[in-house]
Amino acid sequence: MIIRKNPKTDLEKKRTTFLLIGFVISLLMVAAAFEYRTYELDKRIIIKAKPVEFIQEEVDRTFQKPPEVELPEIKRDVPIEIVEDDDEADEDFEIDASSDAPVEPIVFPEVEKEQEIPDDTIFTNVQVEPQFPGGYSAFLKYLANTIKYPEVARQNGITGTVYIKFILEKDGTPTDLVVLREVAGGCTEVALKAIENMPPWRPALQNMKPVRYHFMLPVKFTLR
């Protein structure tokens, strides 16, 4: 029995063709696999920027103390000291009267109501103190140049303090000198002479008027 195949349905005839097509496709796929490259996406993002610099300025909070103003010291109730060395004379003076020494410039206080002052009234406290010509330093210089340690007192080793009170009149001249304590050897005499020969002072003022003023001066004589 002879089996006849329809040429249109006979697949054996095209087997070789299909096999070749399969080989070609396989080769193409292998070649494509070798040519394929994978790329890794770098997801990192780098941002370059200038750094911000914070500068904190330091504020100087140091408070400077205002300079202190030194006021001149006014001594009180310290006697004039006449010092005599054994070899040569050396007079050092420290002076103060029974009242405060005047300080320049003189400020005249305001007076609400003027009071009648008897002409013979002697004051110990006034609105404006009397002042030696040239001021306090000039008074010290005058005494240093005028009062010398008496030779008799120096040779006999006599020391002590002479106390003299007097009145500064309205014209500034010294009057009514009274010795409250004496020192021998001529010390009392030289102290009295220096006060008697003083130039007129600027008078004390009360209610803007010159008045008489009570003054007491100690003079100390010391040997070294």
CATH number for the domain including 184? Answer: 3.30.2420.10
Query: Which tens digits make up the pLDDT trace of 172-182?
Result: 999 999 999 99
Query: Which tens digits make up the pLDDT trace of 23-39?
Result: 778 788 877 777 665 54
pLDDT at residue number 114: 55
How many domains in the chain? 1
When pLDDT is averaged across residues 46-72 and rounded to a whole number, the result is: 48
Q: Is the pLDDT of residue 184 over 60?
A: yes
Assess if residue 9 is contained within a domain.
Answer: no
Assess if residue 180 is contained within a domain.
Answer: yes
pLDDT at residue number 21: 82
Assess if residue 75 is contained within a domain.
Answer: no
pLDDT at residue number 62: 56
Q: Is the pLDDT of residue 96 over 80?
A: no
Assess if residue 7 is contained within a domain.
Answer: no
Query: Which tens digits make up the pLDDT trace of 190-213?
Result: 999 999 999 999 999 999 999 999
Query: Which tens digits make up the pLDDT trace of 99-139?
Result: 444 545 444 455 555 566 667 899 999 999 999 999 989 98
Spatial distance between the Cα atoms of 219 and 94, rounded to a whole number of angstroms:
9
Assess if residue 174 is contained within a domain.
Answer: yes
Average pLDDT score over the chain: 73
pTM of the model: 0.52
Its domain, for residue 135, covers 80-105+118-223
Residue 203, burial from CB neighbour count under 10 angstroms (0-12, 13-18, 19+): buried
Assess if residue 124 is contained within a domain.
Answer: yes
Assess if residue 20 is contained within a domain.
Answer: no
pLDDT at residue number 159: 92
Assess if residue 166 is contained within a domain.
Answer: yes
Give 84's contacts (C-beta < 8 A, 6+ positions apart): 90, 91, 149, 154, 221, 222, 223, 224
